[in-house]
A = this chain, B = another copy of it.
């Protein structure tokens, strides 16, 4: 993980809504049990937008930010885009922060 990548990751976490999204996706069954598609695919963007209470475009941008930083991966199925946490990256980030800080 380069310094530039670390920078992008920390910036991605510097917005409370993005941290919330990451947190929600830790246990999707708590908040998104009503999703029509299996949660094993991830959680689709619309449900996350509804939970956040922000506009669709705003939340889409937040998801893009989290994905670009590497914290989320996405899987496109039909017209839906499902997002899930990238646990490996998250752990690497914490470890890197631990030694870098």
Count copies of this chain in the complex.
2
On chain B, the residues within 8 Å of A101 by CB distance are 13, 19, 22-23, 90, 94
The answer to whether B100 and A94 have CB atoms under 8 Å apart is: no
On chain B, the residues within 8 Å of A97 by CB distance are 94, 97
Closest to A26 in B: B101
Q: Once the chains are docked, how many angstroms separate the CA of A7 from the CA of B101?
A: 17
On chain B, the residues within 8 Å of A11 by CB distance are 14
Closest to A98 in B: B94
Q: At the interface, yes or no: A53 with Cβ under 8 Å from chain B?
A: no
The answer to whether B100 and A19 have CB atoms under 8 Å apart is: yes
The smallest C-beta distance from A89 to any residue of chain B, in angstroms, reads 11
